[in-house]
Amino acid sequence: MKQKVIITAFAHPILKKSMGAAGFEVVESFKISYDELSAMIGSFTGMIVTTRLKIDKSIIDKATSLKWIGRLGSGMEMIDHVYAASKGIQCVSSPEGNRDTVGEQVIGMILSLLHHIDRSSNEVRKGIWLRDENRGTELGGKTVGIIGYGNTGWKLAQLLSSFHVRVLAHDGYKTGFSSGYIQEATLHEIQEQADIISFHLPLTEETYHYADNHFFQALKRSPVLMNASRGKVIDTPALIHALDEKLISAAGLDVLENESLATYSEEEMALFQNLVARTNVLITPHIAGYSREALIKMATVILDKLGIRVSV
């Protein structure tokens, strides 16, 4: 009898093909609900997930045959991986697969904000032609602060090499990574010296609302703020206050605290409308790690970590 694997979110076809070639019976259910998964998980040996479903203790207890969980992308906050490990379930993620595209998007958003690309393009669409008002600022020569120096933070630093910037990188769990233009730094040093700050943090109890009023008040250079990690790393009211008080000059957000716009309360909608009305704020729908190339790279990374041969 074949071992069964369930893929709970859209993945590159190479994932299913390779698992099938390895002898697994593969079930694809991209829209499966938590309750539906909970009811059927007992029959599966492996499971592929993203951030759509929470894999908690309740589901893990019902997963009596489960040997592994593969996470497409980075961040394990939706999986109780500690409890899973206690049950002998291997958990692997694939941040190596989408770190390139996250770094590219962050740089693209930085350049758009510094050179007013999005703002001026929208003005031209309305028949407004303003040059002096849209005079840009070059990235070269600036200091970029990176908070969180894992896969995506490291990759952003690498991609910045051709811009002749100074990178100050801070990670509470890593040391000794200074090299050339990349300098290990304290949070205080980033807050005082950075012209641009980019978050690359997982969401944990420690990083929830990491960027709060206290964080913003400590900024000295009115930096451009970037977040392509997790929305709840930034306290939205504190962000709006920082924009109002010019504690930051602009913000590029690929993530929001609540990304299900249809569920917004009146308060959440008011905060959202406040942000989207600003010409110095860019918001994209959590697409930084979502490129076509990342889709296949994340799949192959998962296969490699699980010891399954890639079947082309």
pLDDT in tens, 73-115: 988 889 999 999 999 999 999 999 999 999 999 999 999 999 9
Q: How far is CA 76 from CA 92, 125, 246, in A?
A: 9, 42, 34
> Considering the entire predicted model, what is its pTM?
0.94
Question: Residue 310's pLDDT is what?
Answer: 94
**CB environment 230-243: b (16+ within 10 A), e (fewer):** bbbbbbbebbbebb
What fold, for 138-279?
A: Rossmann fold (3.40.50)
- Residue 176 tokens read as 């000794």
- CA-wise closest residue to 54 among 73, 29, 71: 71
Same fold for the pair 4-96+292-306 and 138-279? yes
Is residue 170 within 8 Å of residue 146, measured between CB atoms?
A: yes
DSSP 8-state symbol, 261: G
Quick one: 4-96+292-306 is in which CATH superfamily? NAD(P)-binding Rossmann-like Domain (3.40.50.720)
Identify the pLDDT of residue 75: 84
- Domain borders along the chain are 4-96+292-306, 138-279
**To which H or E segment does residue 6 belong?**
strand 4-7
Contacts of 106 (CB under 8 A, 6+ apart): 156, 198, 226, 228, 252, 254, 288
What does the DSSP 8-state code read for residue 161? G
Q: How far apart are CA 69 and CA 47, in angstroms?
A: 5
- Asked if 55 and 11 count as a contact pair (C-beta separation under 8 A), the reply is no
Q: What pLDDT does residue 234 have?
A: 98
Q: Which regions in the chain score pLDDT beneath 50? A: none
* pLDDT of res. 8: 96
